[in-house]
């Protein structure tokens, strides 16, 4: 295969990528801030729930092991 034939698909792929990139609708700063706060809050809440379940299971396993 010639070198030119190998480069043609890459060129069209980058053109397609550029066209798709132009279609992106970027959020405004206010919306982005709200979404970021929501993601951080949900992550913290999930982390707390996992920690609570971990502590409960640890005490439960320790109680079973003492029997």
9-57: pLDDT as tens digits: 677 888 899 999 999 999 999 999 999 999 999 999 999 999 999 999 9
pLDDT at 5: 52
Question: Reduced to 3 states, what is the DSSP secondary structure of residue 9?
Answer: helix
Residue whose tokens read 């299971």: 57
Half-sphere exposure of 42 (CA within 13 A, CB side): 6
Q: What are phi and psi of 31, to 5 degrees?
A: -65, -40
pLDDT at 3 over 60: no
Instruction: Identify whether the C-beta of residue 48 lies closer than 8 Å to the C-beta of residue 41.
Output: no
């Amino acid at each position: 295969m010639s070198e030119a034939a190998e480069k043609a698909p890459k060129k069209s792929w980058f053109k397609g990528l550029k066209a798709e990139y132009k279609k992106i609708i970027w959020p405004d700063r206010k919306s982005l801030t709200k979404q970021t706060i929501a993601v951080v809050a949900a992550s913290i809440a999930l982390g707390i729930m996992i920690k609570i379940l971990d502590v409960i299971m640890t005490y439960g396993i320790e109680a079973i092991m003492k029997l």
